[in-house]
């Protein structure tokens, strides 16, 4: 019995606002990212907000992939929680490119034994933007 | 324009396995937790796995609440990502009680500026179980 999971928290900056406000595009990008990661999509639920912004989740056989966008800021917050053999980095690379991000910040969290941790390191991708 | 969010990562241990394997019960618990937090539910998507386990997500007007359960381990992993005036602690207290957890471990992550962080602290709730 394995409860271990890898949870990738990512923030994308400098994305074109029109893309972040297109619920169909955002849903396609996340579903394609799941496929790029080798994950299996079980359900997909996305919601457009007014005046702007999109929230959505793809439930995977291996856990989930979620997104919240702030088109007015060119910003998207993504979570990819996976168990088993899923290539989360591939999903990240896909999303960064498809969302047109100029910079991204990533945090990896090992799930299943948070109680054993004391702190979690944060790293950026060295993108050009401050 | 505010992109700030508070992201609560929680792991519940020592939960009754039958409850964690009841997709209807788990969906009700998460929806009720969202209400307890003062959040607004937009969509709810839950999926039972075979032979066991449940994954589900509640999309909120204020972001999302997700769960993955491992009934065989009495374990559930929850994420509550919120923006605005949401009482995440109230949701946590509700879920801990409704899931019958004997112990929980929590991590708070400030979203919207991960790139400014160097590390994230982890804390347990001091539950009785190791």
Per-residue H/E/C for chain A = CCCCEEEEEEEEECCCHHHHCCHHHHHHHHHHHHHHCCCCEEEEEEEECCCCCEEEEEEECCEEEEEEEEHHHCEEEEEEEECCCCCHHHHHHHHHHHCCCCEEEEEEEEECCHHHCCEEEEEECCCCCC
> Whole-model pTM?
0.90
Burial of A2 (0-12, 13-18, 19+ CB in 10 A): exposed
Chain B residues with CB-CB distance to A17 below 8 A = none
Q: Which residues face B10 on adjacent strands? A: B78, B106
Interchain CB contact of A106 with B (< 8 Å): yes
- Tell me what the mean pLDDT of segment A66-75 comes to: 97
| Sequence-distant (≥ 6) Cβ neighbours of residue A105 within 8 angstroms | A10, A11, A13, A122, A123, A124, A125, B114, B115
User: What amino acid positions of B are annotated as catalytic residues?
Assistant: 63, 68, 83
Domain coordinates in residue numbering, chain A: 5-124
Q: What is the pLDDT of residue A126?
A: 46
Q: Identify the DSSP state of B74.
A: T
**pLDDT, tens digit (0-9, with 9 covering 90-100), for B34-79:** 999 999 999 999 999 999 999 999 999 999 999 999 999 999 999 9
- Residue B55 near chain A (CB below 8 Å): yes
Instruction: Report ipTM (2 d.p.).
Output: 0.88
Quickly state the pLDDT bin for B2 (edges 50, 70, 90).
Answer: confident
| Most A CBs within 10 Å, among B34, B45, B118, to test the A interface | B45
B129 falls in which pLDDT band (50, 70, 90)?
very low
* Residue B119 pLDDT > 80: no
Distance between CA atoms of residues A23 and A10, nearest Å: 19
Nearest-CA neighbor of A20 among A55, A66, A44, A60? A55
Asked if B102 is an interface residue toward chain A (Cβ–Cβ < 8 A), one would say: no
Could you give the 3-state DSSP secondary structure of residue B37?
A: coil
- A5-124: CATH number: 3.60.90.10
Q: How confident is residue A123, by pLDDT bands cut at 50, 70 and 90? A: low
């Amino acid at each position: 019995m394995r409860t271990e999971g890898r949870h990738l928290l990512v923030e994308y900056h400098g994305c074109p606002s029109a893309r972040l406000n297109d619920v169909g595009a955002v849903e396609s990008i996340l579903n394609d990212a799941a496929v790029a990661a080798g994950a299996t999509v079980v359900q997909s639920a996305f919601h457009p907000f007014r005046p702007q912004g999109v929230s959505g989740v793809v439930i995977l056989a291996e856990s989930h992939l979620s997104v919240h966008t702030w088109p007015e800021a060119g910003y998207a917050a993504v979570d990819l929680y996976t168990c088993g053999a899923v290539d989360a980095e591939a999903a990240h690379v896909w999303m960064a490119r498809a969302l047109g991000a100029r910079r991204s910040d990533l945090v990896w969290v090992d799930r299943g034994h948070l109680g054993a941790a004391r702190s979690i390191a944060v790293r950026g991708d060295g993108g050009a933007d401050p």
